Amino acid sequence: MSEDAGPGGQIVLAATPIGNLADASQRLRDLLATADIVAAEDTRRARHLAQGLGVRITGKVVSHHEHNERESTTELLAAARDGAVVAVVTDAGMPLVSDPGYRLVSTAAAEGVDVTCAPGPSAVTTALALSGLPTDRFAFEGFLPRKEGERARLLGELARDARTLVFFESPRRLEASLASLRDAFGADRPACVARELTKLHEEVVRDGLGNLVQWAGSKEIKGEIVIVTGGATAAPDTDTAGQVADVEVLVASGTRLKEAVNIVAGARRVPKRELYEAVLASRQ
Protein backbone atom coordinates (compact mmCIF):
# COMPACT_ATOMS: atom_id res chain seq x y z
CA MET A 1 0.00 0.00 0.00
CA SER A 2 1.31 3.48 -0.80
CA GLU A 3 2.11 6.10 1.82
CA ASP A 4 -0.54 8.34 0.25
CA ALA A 5 -3.38 5.93 0.98
CA GLY A 6 -5.02 5.98 4.36
CA PRO A 7 -4.88 2.98 6.69
CA GLY A 8 -6.70 0.14 4.99
CA GLY A 9 -7.63 2.27 1.99
CA GLN A 10 -7.90 0.15 -1.13
CA ILE A 11 -9.73 -0.29 -4.42
CA VAL A 12 -10.83 -3.88 -5.09
CA LEU A 13 -11.94 -4.99 -8.55
CA ALA A 14 -14.50 -7.70 -7.89
CA ALA A 15 -15.70 -10.13 -10.55
CA THR A 16 -19.41 -10.97 -10.46
CA PRO A 17 -21.24 -14.02 -11.88
CA ILE A 18 -21.93 -13.93 -15.62
CA GLY A 19 -25.10 -15.92 -15.08
CA ASN A 20 -25.13 -18.57 -12.40
CA LEU A 21 -25.14 -16.99 -8.93
CA ALA A 22 -23.44 -20.10 -7.53
CA ASP A 23 -20.27 -18.90 -9.26
CA ALA A 24 -19.98 -15.96 -6.85
CA SER A 25 -16.85 -16.26 -4.73
CA GLN A 26 -16.86 -15.99 -0.97
CA ARG A 27 -14.55 -13.02 -1.36
CA LEU A 28 -17.16 -11.22 -3.47
CA ARG A 29 -19.80 -11.92 -0.83
CA ASP A 30 -17.54 -10.58 1.90
CA LEU A 31 -16.72 -7.45 -0.10
CA LEU A 32 -20.35 -6.65 -0.78
CA ALA A 33 -21.08 -7.02 2.92
CA THR A 34 -18.14 -5.08 4.32
CA ALA A 35 -16.85 -2.57 1.75
CA ASP A 36 -17.20 1.06 2.72
CA ILE A 37 -18.23 1.87 -0.86
CA VAL A 38 -19.65 -0.36 -3.60
CA ALA A 39 -19.04 1.34 -6.95
CA ALA A 40 -21.41 -0.30 -9.41
CA GLU A 41 -22.01 -0.04 -13.13
CA ASP A 42 -25.73 -0.29 -12.29
CA THR A 43 -26.65 0.26 -8.64
CA ARG A 44 -29.96 -1.57 -9.01
CA ARG A 45 -28.25 -4.66 -10.37
CA ALA A 46 -25.66 -4.54 -7.60
CA ARG A 47 -28.39 -4.50 -4.97
CA HIS A 48 -30.26 -7.27 -6.79
CA LEU A 49 -27.06 -9.35 -6.90
CA ALA A 50 -26.49 -8.88 -3.19
CA GLN A 51 -30.08 -9.87 -2.47
CA GLY A 52 -29.72 -12.99 -4.60
CA LEU A 53 -26.57 -13.92 -2.69
CA GLY A 54 -28.23 -13.34 0.66
CA VAL A 55 -25.83 -10.49 1.44
CA ARG A 56 -26.69 -7.13 2.98
CA ILE A 57 -24.67 -4.23 1.65
CA THR A 58 -23.68 -2.07 4.62
CA GLY A 59 -21.60 0.51 2.75
CA LYS A 60 -22.56 3.29 0.38
CA VAL A 61 -23.61 2.22 -3.12
CA VAL A 62 -22.58 4.66 -5.87
CA SER A 63 -22.70 4.68 -9.65
CA HIS A 64 -19.52 4.12 -11.63
CA HIS A 65 -20.18 3.76 -15.36
CA GLU A 66 -18.89 5.00 -18.70
CA HIS A 67 -20.89 8.23 -18.56
CA ASN A 68 -19.67 9.42 -15.14
CA GLU A 69 -16.32 7.63 -14.96
CA ARG A 70 -14.23 10.80 -14.94
CA GLU A 71 -16.04 12.39 -11.98
CA SER A 72 -16.52 9.09 -10.17
CA THR A 73 -12.83 8.22 -10.45
CA THR A 74 -11.86 11.38 -8.57
CA GLU A 75 -14.33 10.65 -5.78
CA LEU A 76 -13.39 6.99 -5.41
CA LEU A 77 -9.66 7.71 -5.31
CA ALA A 78 -10.22 10.36 -2.66
CA ALA A 79 -12.21 7.88 -0.58
CA ALA A 80 -9.47 5.23 -0.87
CA ARG A 81 -6.84 7.75 0.18
CA ASP A 82 -8.95 8.50 3.25
CA GLY A 83 -8.92 4.82 4.20
CA ALA A 84 -12.07 3.46 2.54
CA VAL A 85 -12.29 0.03 0.96
CA VAL A 86 -13.93 0.55 -2.44
CA ALA A 87 -15.39 -2.51 -4.17
CA VAL A 88 -15.83 -2.03 -7.93
CA VAL A 89 -18.39 -4.28 -9.63
CA THR A 90 -19.94 -4.40 -13.08
CA ASP A 91 -23.18 -5.95 -14.28
CA ALA A 92 -21.45 -9.27 -14.99
CA GLY A 93 -17.93 -10.60 -15.12
CA MET A 94 -14.60 -8.87 -14.61
CA PRO A 95 -14.43 -5.07 -14.32
CA LEU A 96 -12.49 -3.34 -17.14
CA VAL A 97 -13.15 -6.16 -19.64
CA SER A 98 -15.50 -4.25 -21.99
CA ASP A 99 -16.74 -2.59 -18.79
CA PRO A 100 -15.87 0.56 -16.81
CA GLY A 101 -12.81 0.76 -14.59
CA TYR A 102 -9.79 1.45 -16.78
CA ARG A 103 -9.61 5.16 -15.93
CA LEU A 104 -9.92 4.36 -12.23
CA VAL A 105 -7.17 1.74 -12.21
CA SER A 106 -4.75 3.65 -14.45
CA THR A 107 -5.15 6.80 -12.36
CA ALA A 108 -4.82 4.86 -9.10
CA ALA A 109 -1.63 3.24 -10.36
CA ALA A 110 -0.19 6.59 -11.41
CA GLU A 111 -1.04 8.19 -8.08
CA GLY A 112 0.06 5.32 -5.85
CA VAL A 113 -3.37 4.31 -4.57
CA ASP A 114 -3.56 0.62 -3.67
CA VAL A 115 -5.53 -1.57 -6.11
CA THR A 116 -6.15 -5.29 -5.92
CA CYS A 117 -8.48 -7.81 -7.55
CA ALA A 118 -10.98 -10.39 -6.36
CA PRO A 119 -10.95 -12.56 -9.52
CA GLY A 120 -13.80 -14.65 -10.75
CA PRO A 121 -16.06 -15.36 -13.74
CA SER A 122 -15.27 -13.98 -17.20
CA ALA A 123 -17.27 -14.59 -20.36
CA VAL A 124 -14.05 -14.25 -22.39
CA THR A 125 -12.15 -17.14 -20.83
CA THR A 126 -15.29 -19.24 -20.34
CA ALA A 127 -16.16 -19.08 -24.05
CA LEU A 128 -12.54 -19.65 -25.01
CA ALA A 129 -12.34 -22.78 -22.88
CA LEU A 130 -15.58 -24.16 -24.32
CA SER A 131 -14.82 -23.30 -27.95
CA GLY A 132 -12.61 -26.30 -28.68
CA LEU A 133 -10.15 -23.92 -30.37
CA PRO A 134 -6.50 -23.36 -29.42
CA THR A 135 -6.08 -21.51 -26.12
CA ASP A 136 -2.30 -21.08 -25.97
CA ARG A 137 -2.44 -17.72 -27.78
CA PHE A 138 -5.58 -15.62 -28.00
CA ALA A 139 -6.74 -12.01 -28.26
CA PHE A 140 -9.91 -10.37 -26.98
CA GLU A 141 -11.27 -7.79 -29.44
CA GLY A 142 -14.42 -6.68 -27.58
CA PHE A 143 -17.42 -5.65 -29.68
CA LEU A 144 -16.97 -5.34 -33.42
CA PRO A 145 -17.51 -1.83 -34.88
CA ARG A 146 -21.12 -1.09 -35.76
CA LYS A 147 -20.29 0.63 -39.06
CA GLU A 148 -19.74 -1.81 -41.90
CA GLY A 149 -16.66 -0.03 -43.27
CA GLU A 150 -14.90 0.14 -39.91
CA ARG A 151 -15.78 -3.48 -39.22
CA ALA A 152 -14.41 -4.59 -42.60
CA ARG A 153 -11.14 -2.69 -42.06
CA LEU A 154 -10.61 -4.20 -38.61
CA LEU A 155 -11.33 -7.73 -39.77
CA GLY A 156 -9.04 -7.24 -42.76
CA GLU A 157 -6.23 -6.50 -40.30
CA LEU A 158 -7.12 -9.54 -38.18
CA ALA A 159 -7.54 -11.98 -41.07
CA ARG A 160 -3.88 -13.09 -40.91
CA ASP A 161 -3.68 -13.15 -37.09
CA ALA A 162 -2.66 -16.64 -35.98
CA ARG A 163 -4.18 -16.23 -32.52
CA THR A 164 -7.63 -17.43 -31.50
CA LEU A 165 -9.88 -14.35 -31.45
CA VAL A 166 -12.70 -13.60 -29.01
CA PHE A 167 -15.50 -11.08 -29.65
CA PHE A 168 -18.60 -9.92 -27.79
CA GLU A 169 -21.76 -9.37 -29.81
CA SER A 170 -25.43 -8.55 -29.34
CA PRO A 171 -28.10 -11.02 -30.54
CA ARG A 172 -29.56 -8.59 -33.08
CA ARG A 173 -26.20 -8.07 -34.80
CA LEU A 174 -24.97 -11.66 -34.58
CA GLU A 175 -25.85 -12.77 -38.12
CA ALA A 176 -24.34 -9.64 -39.71
CA SER A 177 -21.16 -9.91 -37.65
CA LEU A 178 -20.74 -13.59 -38.47
CA ALA A 179 -21.20 -12.72 -42.17
CA SER A 180 -18.48 -10.08 -41.89
CA LEU A 181 -16.19 -12.59 -40.20
CA ARG A 182 -16.93 -15.14 -42.93
CA ASP A 183 -16.16 -12.62 -45.67
CA ALA A 184 -12.86 -11.61 -44.03
CA PHE A 185 -11.66 -14.97 -42.68
CA GLY A 186 -13.27 -17.46 -45.07
CA ALA A 187 -16.32 -19.70 -44.75
CA ASP A 188 -14.26 -22.66 -43.51
CA ARG A 189 -12.54 -20.83 -40.63
CA PRO A 190 -13.49 -22.78 -37.47
CA ALA A 191 -15.51 -20.77 -34.97
CA CYS A 192 -17.81 -21.02 -31.99
CA VAL A 193 -20.83 -19.07 -30.82
CA ALA A 194 -21.38 -19.26 -27.06
CA ARG A 195 -24.72 -18.02 -25.80
CA GLU A 196 -26.06 -17.47 -22.27
CA LEU A 197 -22.95 -18.92 -20.63
CA THR A 198 -23.55 -20.54 -17.21
CA LYS A 199 -27.27 -19.79 -17.50
CA LEU A 200 -30.24 -22.14 -17.85
CA HIS A 201 -30.32 -21.93 -21.65
CA GLU A 202 -26.58 -22.08 -22.27
CA GLU A 203 -25.77 -23.01 -25.86
CA VAL A 204 -22.39 -23.58 -27.53
CA VAL A 205 -22.38 -24.05 -31.31
CA ARG A 206 -19.13 -24.99 -33.09
CA ASP A 207 -18.80 -24.94 -36.89
CA GLY A 208 -17.24 -23.14 -39.80
CA LEU A 209 -18.15 -19.45 -40.15
CA GLY A 210 -20.18 -20.11 -43.29
CA ASN A 211 -22.43 -22.61 -41.54
CA LEU A 212 -22.71 -20.42 -38.46
CA VAL A 213 -24.06 -17.56 -40.59
CA GLN A 214 -26.81 -19.89 -41.84
CA TRP A 215 -27.49 -21.12 -38.29
CA ALA A 216 -27.82 -17.58 -36.94
CA GLY A 217 -30.19 -16.61 -39.74
CA SER A 218 -32.44 -19.63 -39.25
CA LYS A 219 -33.61 -18.88 -35.70
CA GLU A 220 -34.28 -16.11 -33.23
CA ILE A 221 -31.17 -15.59 -31.12
CA LYS A 222 -31.46 -14.19 -27.61
CA GLY A 223 -29.11 -13.62 -24.68
CA GLU A 224 -25.49 -12.68 -24.17
CA ILE A 225 -23.23 -13.71 -27.07
CA VAL A 226 -19.52 -14.49 -27.37
CA ILE A 227 -17.94 -15.38 -30.72
CA VAL A 228 -14.64 -17.27 -30.84
CA THR A 229 -12.77 -17.81 -34.11
CA GLY A 230 -9.72 -19.90 -34.88
CA GLY A 231 -6.56 -18.11 -35.97
CA ALA A 232 -5.14 -17.98 -39.46
CA THR A 233 -2.98 -20.92 -40.48
CA ALA A 234 0.18 -20.48 -42.47
CA ALA A 235 0.22 -21.83 -46.01
CA PRO A 236 2.31 -25.00 -46.29
CA ASP A 237 5.92 -24.49 -47.36
CA THR A 238 6.31 -26.31 -50.68
CA ASP A 239 9.78 -25.01 -51.53
CA THR A 240 11.54 -28.36 -51.10
CA ALA A 241 14.66 -27.21 -52.95
CA GLY A 242 14.95 -24.21 -50.65
CA GLN A 243 14.51 -26.40 -47.58
CA VAL A 244 17.25 -28.77 -48.74
CA ALA A 245 19.54 -25.83 -49.52
CA ASP A 246 19.03 -24.44 -46.00
CA VAL A 247 19.97 -27.82 -44.54
CA GLU A 248 23.12 -28.05 -46.65
CA VAL A 249 24.21 -24.55 -45.58
CA LEU A 250 23.99 -25.60 -41.94
CA VAL A 251 25.82 -28.86 -42.64
CA ALA A 252 28.60 -26.98 -44.45
CA SER A 253 29.02 -24.77 -41.38
CA GLY A 254 29.59 -27.85 -39.18
CA THR A 255 26.09 -28.78 -38.02
CA ARG A 256 25.29 -32.49 -38.00
CA LEU A 257 22.80 -33.54 -40.68
CA LYS A 258 20.00 -34.66 -38.33
CA GLU A 259 20.31 -31.52 -36.23
CA ALA A 260 20.29 -29.35 -39.36
CA VAL A 261 17.15 -31.11 -40.56
CA ASN A 262 15.47 -30.54 -37.20
CA ILE A 263 16.33 -26.84 -37.27
CA VAL A 264 15.07 -26.24 -40.81
CA ALA A 265 11.98 -28.41 -40.39
CA GLY A 266 11.02 -26.44 -37.29
CA ALA A 267 11.59 -23.08 -38.95
CA ARG A 268 9.71 -24.01 -42.11
CA ARG A 269 7.06 -26.10 -40.35
CA VAL A 270 7.55 -29.22 -42.47
CA PRO A 271 7.81 -32.89 -41.40
CA LYS A 272 11.36 -33.79 -40.35
CA ARG A 273 11.26 -37.24 -41.93
CA GLU A 274 10.18 -35.90 -45.34
CA LEU A 275 12.87 -33.23 -45.28
CA TYR A 276 15.54 -35.75 -44.27
CA GLU A 277 14.56 -38.03 -47.16
CA ALA A 278 14.60 -35.08 -49.55
CA VAL A 279 18.15 -34.18 -48.50
CA LEU A 280 19.32 -37.77 -49.02
CA ALA A 281 17.63 -37.94 -52.43
CA SER A 282 19.31 -34.69 -53.52
CA ARG A 283 22.72 -36.15 -52.70
CA GLN A 284 22.31 -39.17 -54.95
What is the topology classification, in CATH, of domain 124-229?
3.30.950
pTM greater than the 0.85 cutoff: no
Query: How far is it, in rounded angstroms, from Cα 117 to Cα 264?
Result: 45
Class of domain 10-120: alpha beta
97: helix, strand or coil: coil
168-204 confidence digits (pLDDT tens): 999 999 999 999 999 999 999 999 999 999 999 999 9
Q: Do the bridges between strand 190-195 and strand 225-229 make them parallel or antiparallel, or are there none, so unpaired?
A: antiparallel
71-129 confidence digits (pLDDT tens): 999 999 999 999 999 999 999 999 999 988 999 999 999 999 999 999 999 999 999 99
Strand ranges of the sheet holding 115-118, from the earlier edge strand across to the other edge = 60-63, 37-40, 85-89, 10-14, 115-118
Residues 6+ apart with CB under 8 A from 245: none
pLDDT at position 4 is: 43
Q: Do 53 and 155 touch, CB atoms closer than 8 A?
A: no
